[in-house]
Amino acid sequence: MNVKTLSEEHLNALTSIVGEAHVSIKSADLDQHARDQSFHEPRRPAAVVWPVSTEQVSAVLKLANQQLIPVTPWGAGTSLEGNPIPVCGGIVLNLSRMNQILEVRVADFQVDVQPGVLYKDMNARLARSGLFFAPDPGANASIGGMIANNAAGTRTPKYGATRENVLRLELVTASGEIIQTGCHSVKSASGYDLVHLFIGSEGTLGVVTQATLKLAPVPEKFSAVIASFETIAGAAQAVSSVMGCGVMPVAMEFLDVTTVRAFNSAGGIQFPEQPTLLMEFHSAAEAGLQAELELVRELCDAEGCMAFQSGLGREERDRLWSVRHQAYEILVRNNPGHAFLIVDVAVPISRFPELVAAVEQALARRNLSAPIVGHAGDGNLHTLIPYTPGDATSQMLAHVADAEMVEAAIALNGTATGEHGVGIGKRQFMAREHGSSLALMRAIKNALDPNGILNPGKIFEETVFSDR
Ligand SMILES: Cc1cc2nc3c(=O)[nH]c(=O)nc-3n(C[C@H](O)[C@H](O)[C@H](O)COP(=O)(O)OP(=O)(O)OC[C@H]3O[C@@H](n4cnc5c(N)ncnc54)[C@H](O)[C@@H]3O)c2cc1C
């Protein structure tokens, strides 16, 4: 199931499309595009191609479709489920050289961008216009990769995931056809919603070559809260109470005791070693924030809050949130010699306490200690299970615990993935989660990519190529 090498003729054809400087079969380039940031096994492509225009993407796909060469789009390679690993070899189509901000329409709160723009760089540019793109996956991901994975992050409760912040796409289909879908109006009831079909499709249905994104005004005033609770159930109940009282947090993060201990060991701000909620609020006026903080404190107190720290202003927000933004680095530092399997599951917020309990049981049954952090405001939970690379037993334990957590989330009417996507790691759960609608997804894939050249081996378990 692997196109390991391309013929001289194919390489010449690619070179004539994009130019010699934009095709590589060098070992260093193949290795760099063999792995993402996950634990999944690396697989080299046969070649890496960097297009610089939509027309070049189209010509590459026409060639690949005629010659049955797999094509895996690539943004910044920061995925956590093996999403851009070219498991069937072939071409990695790296979009990073299509990285222009094409037009900022301040009055409409919109921007048109190419897919290779990195969202942190884009937001630094947009700040000059007082605007920002709200989804924040933490790593400096590309817009194309965020659209393909429907990335989210901490700010989803108020602003939504990537899916809620894209209005229009330009795409190239597997056969090389260039299409536009969606429009610049924030409202539309016109026809099938193809924009949202492509968002989250992980490069299996088409290649995004341009996007119109919704922007939000950069907030004027900030506040933040750290609330420590007697029990996980109390913390989880406080999530529902705060979300239900009409105060809309921008972010609402859950930290278990293991995570809190790791954060405390990093120095700086100290948290009581209890289940903790970390919250952030934005507003146009400080008076409104002050009133919100008082209400939030009352709601937390009612759920057994033992300590409540709050702060007003950007500096206080940054101080209270400082460790959360370095969570991954702190946990890596605290576990030398280990790698992490990052579990990503989500449930309705009312089931969050049951999910945390199931996760704790799955860890305890295997004598594993792993930090549990969650975007609790949207029921999304991550467990970072440490394992020893090269040690089959420790890897196996991590995988079995992960599978048990995913099964628990699905049983709680949730999902196998809240934001990291299916990639390779979650394919085995798709039938269980989607039942008969998986066949409809497969039919859509076959209709849009009948030869199965686009990112084969992802979302669905079967692949379509024989060894070449
Ligand atoms: C430390 C760390 C923290 C993270 N935290 C979060 C988090 O909080 N929330 C979250 O959602 N994610 C998080 N992620 C995961 C990751 O950043 C996101 O999944 C991100 O969307 C990947 O973007 P990318 O540009 O790196 O895409 P890649 O990894 O390169 O590709 C992702 C997928 O998109 C496809 N693709 C790429 N470009 C295109 C295109 N132009 N057209 C069609 N398909 C394309 C690829 O084939 C692949 O399937 C984190 C990652 C790290 C390393």
**What pLDDT digit, counting tens, does each position of 164-205 carry?**
999 999 999 999 999 999 999 999 999 999 999 999 999 999
**pLDDT in the model for residue 209:** 99
**pLDDT in the model for residue 14:** 98
End-to-end alpha carbon distance in the chain: 8
- Output the CA 141–ligand 1 centroid distance in Å: 6
- Output the CA 79–ligand 1 centroid distance in Å: 4
Tell me the pLDDT band of 1, cut-offs 50, 70 and 90: low
- What is the per-residue pLDDT across 72-120, written as a single tens digit (0 to 9) for each? 999 999 999 999 999 999 999 999 999 999 999 999 999 999 999 999 9
- Bigger pLDDT: 164 or 328? 164
SS3 of the chain: helix, strand, coil, percent, to 5:
40, 20, 40
- Residue whose CA is at the smallest distance from ligand 1 atom 13: 137
**pLDDT in the model for residue 255:** 95
**pLDDT in the model for residue 266:** 85
Percent of the chain topping pLDDT 90: 86
For residue 29, give every residue at least 6 positions away whose Cβ sits within 8 Å of its Cβ, in sequence order, or none: 48
374 in contact with ligand 1, CB cutoff 6 A: no
- Output the CA 458–ligand 1 centroid distance in Å: 14
- What is the per-residue pLDDT across 352-379, written as a single tens digit (0 to 9) for each? 999 999 999 999 999 999 999 999 999 9
**pLDDT in the model for residue 205:** 98
- Residue whose CA is at the smallest distance from ligand 1 atom 19: 79
Tell me the pLDDT band of 335, cut-offs 50, 70 and 90: confident
How much is the mean pLDDT over the chain? 95
152 in contact with ligand 1, CB cutoff 6 A: yes
**pLDDT in the model for residue 468:** 59
**DSSP per position, 406-459:** HHHHHHTT-BS-SSS--TTTTGGGHHHHHTTHHHHHHHHHHHH-TT--BSTTSS
Is pTM beyond 0.85 here? yes
Q: How far apart are CA 277 and CA 107, in angstroms?
A: 36
